[in-house]
Amino acid sequence: DAGITQSPRHKVTETGTPVTLRCHQTENHRYMYWYRQDPGHGLRLIHYSYGVKDTDKGEVSDGYSVSRSKTEDFLLTLESATSSQTSVYFCAISLKGAEQYFGPGTRLTVT
């Protein structure tokens, strides 16, 4: 997985609670991404980062925020989780050009 870890790997939480997912890389790459994957929708970009403290929105950013205080960590926060945010979340990094390598994923269930 190209030196990418995600934590937790599985989480069940209740509607209305905040949740933070962590992506950690050991490759020192500039670009990091958060995607969600749902049946019938493939992979959709939530947010991405192009450097420390530099982030931008993807196509499905509502209800999510991110932070990147150091190169190796990219955090995804659900401020107040909803059932529609039940999904599998993948982090990715860019090694060269647009070629992205993905982490193992986090399965989040919001009840």
Partner 1 sequence: GESVGLHLPTLSVQEGDNSIINCAYSNSASDYFIWYKQESGKGPQFIIDIRSNMDKRQGQRVTVLLNKTVKHLSLQIAATQPGDSAVYFCAENEDSSYKLIFGSGTRLLVRP
Q: Segment contacting partner 1 (CB under 8 A): 20-28, 60-68, 77-85, 89-97?
A: 89-97
Minimum separation from the CB atom of position 18 to partner 1 (A)? 23
Q: Where are the alpha helices (DSSP H) in 1-111?
A: none
Sheet holding 64-70, edge to edge: 4-7, 19-25, 73-78, 64-70
**Which residues, 30 to 49, sit near partner 1 by CB under 8 A?**
31, 33, 37, 39-45, 48
Positive or negative torsion for Cα 29, 73, 12, 10: positive
For residue 102, the minimal CB distance to partner 1 (Å) is 4
Structural element, H or E, at residue 54:
strand 54-57
* Chain positions contacting partner 1, by CB under 8 A: 1, 31, 33, 37, 39-45, 48, 50, 56, 58, 88, 90, 92, 94, 97-105, 107
